[in-house]
A and B are shown apart, each in its own frame.
Chain A
Amino acid sequence: MSTENAAKPEGKLPFVKADFESGQEVRWCPGCGDYAILAVMQRTLAQFSIPREKYVFVSGIGCSSRFPYYMNTYGFHTIHGRAPTIASGLKSANPDLVVWVITGDGDALSIGGNHLIHVMRRNMNVNIVLVNNRIYGLTKGQYSPTSESGKVTKSTPQGSIDYPINPISIALASEATFVARTVDSDPKHMGYVFERAMQHKGTSFIEVYQNCIIFNDKAFAPVTGRETRDDRAVYLEHDKALTFGKKKDRALRIKGYKPEIVDLTLEKNADDLLIHNEKDEDTGYSYFLAQLKYPEMPVPLGVFRAIARPTYEEMLNAQVEDSMKKKGKGSIKDLVYGRETWTVN
């Protein structure tokens, strides 16, 4: 129900997760990774002292796009691929709002590819969660722009002949100022990434590896499985070496233009390890990270890039204020009369 949780008494802090639950029956498939994302989102928001009327969740179409109905905040379930446009208008109109865009690999990268690029290049201060399960779930299992080549689905009985695109690469190419990746099976890490996104001013782009239990089960399991992820994922930490493995006994370095895995048990004092720098303005390094793929390389999780840049809505409003300062606040009479008039008696 839209209003079951009527206004929380003002000043009642801290918030708890339940404050952000809308009470509507959640209708994702049992076992869907979206449940974890929803719970982490609700828990993350409860950690901030921002009242829930300040939040707006905007989504497009797809399984994950039902998200706004389950958040006891403002929400707009829009049309396929267009959530970034609604979010951009909303944020431009009212920069005080905290705007989240919830989208999927089809919604964001296929039908809405253009808007995703442009919301990021403008550095609109919104947080985008791209729930990537490498499949179309809501339309019952066709391949998506992130599906691996050769994917056999109902629409590709002989295997797909498209090459997949990498959401992180798109985000970096679009000059997103905050780019991160996390997984549905690691709520703690997801919470950390969401929190970082909340704190970032400018577009925050988060790819979540999510499991579609019905149409693409275990698509990311080799990387995200609890047993394997220490060995197959590398957790990015600013200013620290890119070490991974259960015992943190491996690390990455660059040889030529290529990544190389260093076995720290053999090279105990390696001094040429790659040190993570999320603040690099140049996207060359973060793009390099985005290309690390399983099984050859560990898959990076965490914050690829976090740089400071003025936001679109900030500059838009500054231009309005600046014009008013320079030209004086326009009066309707000046507007209607214009530069030249004449009088008929």
Chain B
Amino acid sequence: MSTMKKSVEKSVSITVRFAGDSGDGMQLTGDQFTDTAAAMGNDFATLPDFPAEIRAPAGTLPGVSSFQIQFSESIIFTPGDQADVLVAMNPAALKVNIPNVKKGGLIIVNESVFTENSLRKASWTSNPLEDNTLIDYQVLKIPLSELTKNALKDHPLKLSEVERCKNFFALGMLFWLYSRKMDHTISWIQKKFSKRPEISEANVAAVKAGYNFADITEQLPVQYEISKAKLEPGVYRKITGNEATAIGLVTAAYLAEKTLFYGSYPITPASSILHILAAYKHYGVKTFQAEDEIAACGVALGASFGGQIGVTGTSGPGICLKSEMMGLAVMAELPLIVLNVQRGGPSTGMPTKTEQADLLQVMFGRNGESPICVLAPKTPSDCFDMAVEAVRIAVKYMTPVVYLSDGNIANGAEPWKLPDLDKLPAIKITHPTAGTDGPFLPYKRDPVTLARPWALPGTPGLEHRVGGLSKADLTGNVSYDPDNNQKMINYRAEKIRRIANDIPLIEVHGPDSGKLLVLGWGGTFGPIYQAIESLRGEGREVSHAQLTYMNPFPRNLGDMLARFEKILVPELNMGQLLMLLRNQFPGRNFTGYHKMQGQPFKAQELIEEISKHL
């Protein structure tokens, strides 16, 4: 029973950040909060932010794992710049995350663990709960560990197991604070621990205890409500980029009436695509965990040669290792999809952090003139559409296609309005059979697409050899003839250029001409869009376009750029798209904005940067 009358206020958008040790279950807690936001009809976007170390020493700064979600009654595009509420499970989580909280925001700390020892582990020289460190914030000191222990004192669990329930206590508190229903999480717990009823009951009790504690405590005088978002009518599910990529690939194979073959070597943050696809064998998917990145690309190319949809996936340094095999795919002119979930580099870099700095690598990082099609999905759900596109283009043009996702959209989740499956166009593939009109010519090209025929081993009468040596036109035989070489180089370049006739035009958000266009690419869509929305809401005149077809560019890009006095190109690299644009569209006024901190853009920093150019 609450002893005080609490008020209920409406709120539009809230950003919550959960932070704790890698072993504290912060990603799981965030996922549960997200699922509930979805079930309650909010729009949302998430940002998991975790270390590469599996379990860094407990209580230390490198071991802090965080999960941020913005949920809203309006349409949102980012996981929020800074949190309205931070839940910090220990001193290290607090230290790492103070910069991620809005001034005046609420910080809920697990007071139980602010001991001398754990403060020292987190490099605090004095207790931040007792000095002026948190003077700009509302601080709620809650002995989460103690309260959880008390709540579960009648449950037959070991102390270490009780300790592990405290994240659910914290989750329960936030459920109350934002008027959330608990039933989704409760049924999830019951299902997850169905074989261990004592664990299930304790976790359910912890959620409820947290909820009731928040309801009773006088430290939380206000409860907030966030209404349903006015999303477009339709059926929705929660989706991360890597999930959408996997589902898109399987769907594309289905549309092409082909088997999907995925060759990969485990690497963060691409591995979950392998895990997801490995569990999709009942959709006919074959997965192959190869001995290394090169082999992963090789088996995918071998499967393509054999007539399946060969896909390989990687991240960071893995893409370097695949380069030579990608060059072979260019020469052999076989379909191949290469997923690159970009992460912080160079070298091993920051495996769990995001970046967009592999664009020039995939454009040019092969020996010789080796043009390749490059796509870049812009949001988690867009990964579905672009994965289907990658397959469509690869098989139609007999070319490798690189798909540049990034760590941010790969792990971030958002609501996905499910497509009308009956309206997805079939991907038409024709394999030649022995004809009567003369010998088979493996390099005879389609006059429109310039694609060569995809003749499958096992087809009588079409025996032929392909390979990495320079190819004679039509026959594909080895040829070092100078004129022929020039001709084949030209064909391969022209084939990629012609893809531009077969992809959507780029669209401008805002006026289609004017003083300033902000041109982003791939996974930076959310914060750029949000920034432009804010500025336009204030009456500023600025437009936005987001490239998702990186090579070739949409055929109207040049015309669009010509209608703006200045083009600002924000990228999570040091100016790679900028370099391509300056080369292809000389005379246009481009300016870059670069950030390489392993973090996505914040809408606010973009607002500030864009404002400088207005």
* Residues of A that sit less than 8 Å from B by CB: 1-7, 10, 22, 24, 51-54, 56, 58, 68-69, 72-79, 82, 84-94, 96-97, 114-115, 117-118, 316-317, 319-320, 322-324, 326-330, 332-333, 335-338, 340-345
Contacts and interface: CB of A to CB of B under 8 A. Distances in A.
Contacts of B419: 336
Contacts of A88: 288, 295, 298-299, 302
B247 A335 contact: yes
Nearest to A68: B465
Interface string B442-460: 1000000000000011111
A6 B468 CA distance: 24
A2 B442 contact: yes
Contact of A22 (B247, B305, B465): B465
Nearest to B43: A344
A323 B235 CA distance: 28
Contacts of B306: 89-94, 97
A342 B235 contact: yes
Given A79-B327, A320-B281, A344-B234, 8 more contacts: A5-B463, A58-B302, A69-B477, A74-B457, A86-B302, A93-B305, A94-B458, A335-B251
Contacts of B476: 2
Given A328-B282, A341-B418, A344-B234, A82 B462 contact: no
A340 B294 CA distance: 37
21 contacts: A53-B459, A74-B458, A82-B325, A86-B302, A86-B305, A88-B298, A89-B301, A91-B306, A92-B299, A93-B305, A93-B310, A320-B281, A330-B280, A330-B282, A336-B418, A340-B35, A341-B235, A341-B236, A342-B41, A343-B236, A344-B235
B599 to A, nearest CB: 29
Nearest to A82: B298
B579 interface: no
Interface in B413-466: 418-419, 421, 434, 439-442, 456-466
B295 A319 contact: no
B261 A2 contact: no
B459 to A, nearest CB: 6
B292 interface: yes
B247 A336 contact: yes
B290 interface: yes
Contacts of A114: 291-292, 295
A123 B290 CA distance: 14
A1 B236 contact: no
Contact of A85 (B283, B294, B308): B294
B346 interface: no
Given A1-B475, A77-B469, A115-B298, A90 B461 contact: no
Contact of A69 (B284, B291, B459, B478): B478
Given A77-B469, A340-B237, A341-B237, A3 B475 contact: yes
Contact of B457 (A5, A24, A90, A328): A90
B328 interface: yes
Contacts of B231: 344
A4 B310 CA distance: 30
B559 interface: no
A198 to B, nearest CB: 17
Contacts of A329: 282-284
Contact of B39 (A4, A72, A328, A342): A342
Contacts of A340: 35, 38-39, 237-238
B300 interface: yes
B69 interface: no
Given A69-B478, A323-B282, A53 B462 contact: yes
A139 to B, nearest CB: 16
B391 interface: no
Contacts of B298: 78, 82, 84-86, 88-89, 115
Interface in B265-320: 280-286, 288, 290-292, 294-295, 297-308, 310
B237 A74 contact: no
A4 B438 CA distance: 10
Contact of A323 (B281, B324, B441, B469): B281
Nearest to B299: A89
B99 interface: no
Contacts of B439: 1-4, 6
Interface residues of B, number: 77
Contacts of A323: 281-282
Contact of B477 (A24, A52, A336): A24
B467 interface: yes
A89 B261 contact: yes
B337 interface: no
B282 A77 contact: no
A97 B467 CA distance: 18
Contacts of A68: 465, 467
A333 B283 CA distance: 11
Interface in B194-245: 228, 231-238
A78 B304 CA distance: 14
Contact of A326 (B282, B286, B305): B282
A75 B465 contact: yes
Contacts of A78: 298, 328, 467-468
A184 B144 CA distance: 77
B250 interface: yes
Nearest to B302: A89
A319 B302 CA distance: 20
A320 B476 CA distance: 35
A130 to B, nearest CB: 18
Nearest to A57: B465
Contacts of B233: 344-345
Contacts of B440: 2-3, 6
A3 B302 contact: no
Contacts of A10: 460
B217 to A, nearest CB: 32
A52 B234 contact: no
B467 A2 contact: no
Contacts of B469: 77
B332 interface: yes
Given A76-B305, A79-B328, A89-B298, A97 B458 contact: yes
Contacts of A344: 41, 228, 231-236
The interface centre, meaning the residue of B228, B300, B467 with most chain A CB atoms within 10 A of its CB, is: B467
B412 interface: no
A1 B472 CA distance: 11
Contacts of A86: 298-299, 301-302, 305
Nearest to B384: A336
Contacts of A94: 306-307, 456-458
A345 B236 CA distance: 11
B461 A118 contact: no
Given A10-B460, A328-B282, A79 B324 contact: yes
B254 interface: yes
Nearest to A73: B463
Given A115-B291, A333-B421, A2 B465 contact: yes
B263 interface: yes
A329 B434 CA distance: 33
A133 B466 CA distance: 26
Contacts of B442: 2
A24 B467 CA distance: 15
B546 interface: no
The interface centre, meaning the residue of B254, B285, B294, B307 with most chain A CB atoms within 10 A of its CB, is: B294
